[in-house]
Structure 1
């Protein structure tokens, strides 16, 4: 059986450009001189039996930004964080109780610009062992996992749309069971899927 983490390491060596929440909406004109804040999100990959899974969260429905959406654990880089990787690991510890010492960082994907003016760096990490999941009260409603093979298969992605701020906005989705994975999370996973399937 092929090592899925070796395949991910190879995928990270392939060159692709940055992404943004506006990739499928070329008519959106971004303001010049905008200042993006650095952020890091962890893409935690854990073996469940013989199958690698990606750990995701469902954000609380009471949050001001992106309520109820599916997201990676992560957030903005604080002044005490050495870099965006440290920010992603810290946020994963705070949001889902993932001990930093259990994560082997595999590498990073290109940055993703969000509608909330963050330059977000996805950090791929191998979770070496099981841990006691502890969702952060008030911020994380649920922690769940999806097979890596599902979110790295381009065939499972589709483009959907909805009206947002008076115009139709298009975005990627990669649904799994009851979970509607879309927006920045789906776009980042789509970029990873493209790398995994590039020969």
Structure 2
């Protein structure tokens, strides 16, 4: 899938299926992630990060660059770009924002805005070791192909919730990151 193919599918007016998120009792703390689509001309990849192993919450989990929306941020777009700059040194001028997916609420109390942007791949990631262990790319076609998605159902009391997994080489993309990628998949391939 290249940029033109992606844009043709991304910018549509169809109502698409969304995976269930966590039903928070309140609005949730605003957060934003960047879905960085590395544009190599004939192919798009997604740049993901592995969270630092010493972190208290979600150590070693695969994620998008992102985090809480701070007071300094004017929008979720600003927050996503700021977090990408802080975590992996991605210059904002290398990113062309093309849209945002519907918010995704998490069990940890966040309401995440998944910001989608094309990235000029001419930068070398500079990892902040306080937040990120490593960064790697996955072909967009792989994460959008629902044949590559695994679903586990977790039960807590009378409630059951799906947990999504997308294996890639030695990495396991799961949880909110996999669910957001699955929502992107529904958006691109309804």
Give the TM-score taking structure 2 as reference length: 0.88
Structure 2 equivalent of residue 136 of structure 1: 128
Q: Deviations over 1:72-128 (max 9, x none)?
A: 000111001011110000000000000001100010000000111111000010012
Structure 2 equivalent of residue 93 of structure 1: 85
Q: CA 1:37–1:44 in 2, change beyond 3 Å: closer, same or farther?
A: same
Q: Distance in 2 between matches of 1:164 and 1:58?
A: 28
Q: Distance in 1 between matches of 2:8 and 2:108?
A: 30
Q: Greater shift after overlay, 34-43 or 117-126? A: 34-43
**1:58-73 aligned within 5 A:** 58-73=50-65
Deviation at 1:160, TM superposition (A): 2.3
Deviation at 1:5, TM superposition (A): 4.3
**Does 1:7 find its partner at 2:3?**
no
Structure 2 equivalent of residue 25 of structure 1: none
Q: Deviations over 1:135-166 (max 9, x none)?
A: 1122100000000000111111010256889x
Structure 2 equivalent of residue 76 of structure 1: 68
SS at match of 1:53: strand
Structure 1 equivalent of residue 109 of structure 2: 117
Give the RMSD, CA atoms, in angstroms.
2.3
Structure 1: runs of 5 or more not aligned: 23-29
Q: Distance in 2 between matches of 1:168 and 1:196?
A: 27
Give the TM-score taking structure 1 as reference length: 0.85
Number of equivalent positions:
188
Q: CA 1:38–1:17 in 2, change beyond 3 Å: closer, same or farther?
A: farther
Deviation at 1:11, TM superposition (A): 2.4
Q: Distance in 1 between matches of 2:114 and 2:153?
A: 24
